Amino acid sequence: MSPSQTLPLGTIRTEQVWKRFKADQQRMLLRDKVDAMARRLRGEKGEDWRWALRDISMHIEPGDSVGLIGSNGSGKSTLLKMLTRVMYPYGGVIDVRGRIGALIEIRAGIHPDLTGRENIYLFGALLGLRRREVATRFDDIVEFARLGGAIDRQVKFYSSGMQMRLGFAVAAYLEPHVLLVDEVLAVGDAVFQQRCLDRMREVAEQGTTIVFVSHDLPAVESICRRGIWLEQGSIRVDAGIKEAMAGYRDSIEAQSEAGGRTGEPIQLLKHEVRGEERESLTTDEPMTVELTLGGDYRGDATLHLGVSEGTSSPIFQISHEVRLTGGDRRVSCVIPRLPLPRGRYTLWAGVYSIGRTDGGTLMSWHSTGQFDVFGPMLDSPPRAVVLAAPVFVPHHWEE
């Protein structure tokens, strides 16, 4: 794009962006260590560097809502900080057009020696708003942040939760063209997190561009239409939010399955998930899970089964006490009416001894594989709800 071309307000554009930090040898990726070793073998001098971002190119249109997902250390927060110009790239081009409202740290944009009131007007001035424009939004900001009489107290005397509420309210209510939000929302309580998510949906519907970083995948999926999955500083997937989430979840599950549980007293030798007709599972019809456990452990234990949509937190979990006598043991669990809608799910299993004070892990909680369910889709939730309820409930209506 030539310099003479003007991008619309709310546009985010990055081209071949690279970012590096001086390396912490214990945290360097293997390929960075290999590169450093090769340089030393060639006799080249200089510091070893860790690349946090590698060749990031993306174009976000005005009004898009984008979720940045990925594991810790994948580069999400670094990219967000460069979009706010807190950091600058080693190489490449970053162009963000319009006013930016950002919440990337608890105190981001908040001066501790000023009062809450003074901070609101200061932030507005930095965004280029006139004092009367800020005044028209002042009451909404104070009400949303639930600060009351504390608005005229110096911010350095606020709790971390109060600072976060003020920071988000200011960023979200002063009508930015681009709203950037990092995982910092996790500091707030569940009620305030819900209110923040609702406000993010409102500003998205008003045409504000949103970039949201969070490990709360259902929250990201409920707000964002597009997902960018970062892995080791590179874009792995840039697609619709469901496609990006599916790829990321598959990666999490594959890592769990490959992690290995050697040395544990109990091993899962075999498992099978089948429906009434064996080859498929259907909503509201029977599901059978058959496990074969192996090991020399003898004693009472509890077998836990869970079903999730990608993370280790199950949609539902079932437990059963078993007596293990050494050797192989086959256990079956039958669910008469499967309460899951159409989709792909993950089965989890774990075995723990009974009566042990140390927790008695015999087989740690882990993913055993995926299965597909055929049946109805869930109804779409109203915009005020974080996400669709994950369980299908058979029902009918009468009037």
What is the CATH architecture of 12-253?
Answer: 3-Layer(aba) Sandwich (3.40)
Judge residue 83's burial from the number of C-beta atoms within 10 Å of its C-beta, 0-12 exposed, 13-18 middle, 19 or more buried. buried
Q: Is the pTM of this model over 0.85?
A: no
Distance CA 332, CA 221 (A): 34
What is the CATH architecture of 264-374?
Answer: Distorted Sandwich (2.70)
Q: How many CB atoms lie within 10 A of CB 18?
A: 15
Q: 329 pLDDT exceeds 60?
A: yes
* Nearest to 293, CA basis, from 307, 306, 305, 279: 305
Report whether 251 contacts 73 (CB < 8 A): no
Distance CA 338, CA 285 (A): 6
Region 126-130: mean pLDDT is 85
> What tokens does 128 get?
């280029």
Distance CA 268, CA 256 (A): 14
CA distances to 232, 233, 281 from 69, rounded to whole Å, are: 12, 12, 30
Report whether 88 contacts 15 (CB < 8 A): no
Residue with more model confidence, 178 or 104:
178
Q: 139 pLDDT exceeds 90?
A: yes
* Nearest to 372, CA basis, from 341, 399, 396: 341
DSSP state at residue 285: S
Distance CA 362, CA 328 (A): 14
Return the CA Rg of the chain.
25
Domain with CATH 2.70.50.60 in the chain: 264-374
Q: 334 pLDDT exceeds 50?
A: yes
DSSP state at residue 90: S
Give the pLDDT band of residue 310 (cuts 50, 70, 90): low
Report whether 275 contacts 287 (CB < 8 A): yes
Q: Tell me: the pLDDT tens digits for 184-204?
A: 666 667 778 888 888 888 888
Give the pLDDT band of residue 3 (cuts 50, 70, 90): very low
Instruction: Find the DSSP H helices in 177-316.
Output: 190-205, 217-223, 241-258
CA distances to 3, 55, 58, 230 from 16, rounded to whole Å, are: 17, 4, 9, 14
Give the pLDDT band of residue 37 (cuts 50, 70, 90): low
Report whether 392 contacts 340 (CB < 8 A): yes
Domain with CATH 3.40.50.300 in the chain: 12-253
Distance CA 159, CA 112 (A): 11
Report whether 210 contacts 224 (CB < 8 A): yes
Region 333-340: mean pLDDT is 93
Virtual CA dihedral for 363, 366, 368, 372, nearest 10 degrees? 150
The answer to which of 135-144, 156-165, 304-313, 389-398 has the lowest mean pLDDT is 389-398
Distance CA 308, CA 287 (A): 15
